[in-house]
Chains A and B, each alone.
Chain A
């Protein structure tokens, strides 16, 4: 289980995150929503161990979180890969880092789940579509079977139909592999459809943390209500008779 306990992050006297506590069990999904500058990406950096906490701690099963080697799926899929090497080389980097051999059967199974023709992996990042690149980014994140996967706006570069297909693939793989998923997104529709819990981050603090259903039914804060209403106003969520 991921456990974030009372963490704070300060840069040069500016508080970026304050008093953040949350838990996330294996196989479950937590969506973190909030406006630009709220601290969402800093939270991801803190959980990955890339950003140092000024206070508090982040653990996975009571051990420092880095030991579980959490994986990250980035927002801009094509620039997430080294442009000079084949996608296969980039995808296998998590295994190379752990000095583990590539299990071709596992690779083939993941490729099938993510609808990635294996010959695509011989290409460079610029030679695949954005949707394909993001699915290959997910493949790279899952290749070493991490127990925790962080997704930083994983769908925002994709078109609406590709978003829904990719979200379905992530959820199906999560059901099969059992990883915990922490998804940072500005898209409350995605969060409502796939997350177990939703945390609203605002100005570095968690304003609200509740089940997705409870949040959509009755947000507890004024900003939560604005977010929910905006999702309906922009057509991400719809009310039907």
Chain B
């Protein structure tokens, strides 16, 4: 189902954090929401999740750190059962097995609490929880920043493989244009609470139009090496 929201805005204490914004995302599309710290990326992400849920869309949100999603006093099995129950889904061993295998967490012991799993496995478990209900949109907020690079790259690769040919769209929120450009087909650039550019990745990288996008493009990699 195509996602379409217009007039999304957020104000707090009389200050506008997100100016009226329109977001359209096609099924299966990979969109990167990029910008500097404080540009309003996460504010838009949260507002979008809330607004889409009110519209009846199924939306999953994966926070920056698995600590924000997992209760340290509850077992991983409890979290899984709770996620199924929140979606009014009956326990389904086959669905769980498929997701666990796809994200390579099938070796994890569900009787253990989160700290009994590695950080990378915790993060992939949170992603798997988000995918239980086959959402229309998966919103991931800085999914790699709390992980070691090897683990982060593996998690993103596994997610890419799982989402290929599926209808679930992905919104990747990140300050790192290098990461978004490597993996997303379309980029939205945020600056001071506004989406200032929205274009296919290759077009934006080739001709950024705003100062914010130019700065991101200029500093998107540490090194560009010859093939």
Contacts and interface: CB of A to CB of B under 8 A. Distances in A.
Interface of A: 35-36, 129-131, 156, 158-165, 186-190, 192-193, 216, 223, 226-227, 229-231, 233-241
A238 B178 contact: yes
A36 B154 CA distance: 16
Measured as residues with beta carbon below 8 angstroms from the partner, the interface class of chain B is 35 or more
Given A159-B175, A233-B182, A238 B150 contact: no
A240 B148 contact: no
B149 A188 contact: yes
A36 B175 CA distance: 22
Contacts of A238: 178, 182, 220-221, 223-225
Nearest to B221: A238
Contact of A234 (B37, B156, B224): B156
A235 B182 contact: yes
B223 A189 contact: yes
A192 B224 CA distance: 11
Interface string B195-220: 00000000000000000000110011
Contact of A35 (B150, B180, B216): B150
Interface string B144-164: 110011111110110000000
B105 to A, nearest CB: 18
B177 interface: yes
Contacts of A162: 36-37
Given A129-B38, A238-B223, 16 more contacts: A156-B145, A159-B37, A159-B175, A160-B176, A160-B177, A161-B216, A227-B150, A230-B150, A230-B153, A230-B154, A233-B156, A234-B156, A234-B178, A238-B220, A239-B226, A240-B226
A187 to B, nearest CB: 7
Contacts of A230: 149-150, 152-154
Contacts, number: 109
Contacts of A187: 149, 222
5 contacts: A161-B219, A189-B221, A189-B222, A189-B223, A230-B154
Contacts of A233: 153, 156-157, 182
Given A160-B175, A160-B220, A227-B150, A234 B225 contact: no
A29 to B, nearest CB: 14
B223 A192 contact: yes
Interface of B: 36-38, 119, 144-145, 148-154, 156-157, 175-183, 215-216, 219-227
A135 to B, nearest CB: 14
Given A233-B153, A234-B156, A160 B226 contact: no
Nearest to A163: B219
A227 B183 CA distance: 18
A231 B179 CA distance: 10
A35 B148 contact: yes
A236 B150 contact: no
Given A192-B223, A216-B225, A160 B149 contact: no
B157 A164 contact: no
A92 to B, nearest CB: 28
A193 B220 CA distance: 13
B138 to A, nearest CB: 18
A36 B223 contact: no
Interface centre among A161, A190, A216 (most CB of B within 10 A): A161
A160 B152 contact: no
A161 B227 CA distance: 25
Contacts of A236: 149, 178, 221-222
A162 B219 CA distance: 9
A235 to B, nearest CB: 3
A42 to B, nearest CB: 17
Nearest to A168: B219
4 closest residue pairs by CB, A with B: A235-B178, A189-B222, A159-B175, A230-B153
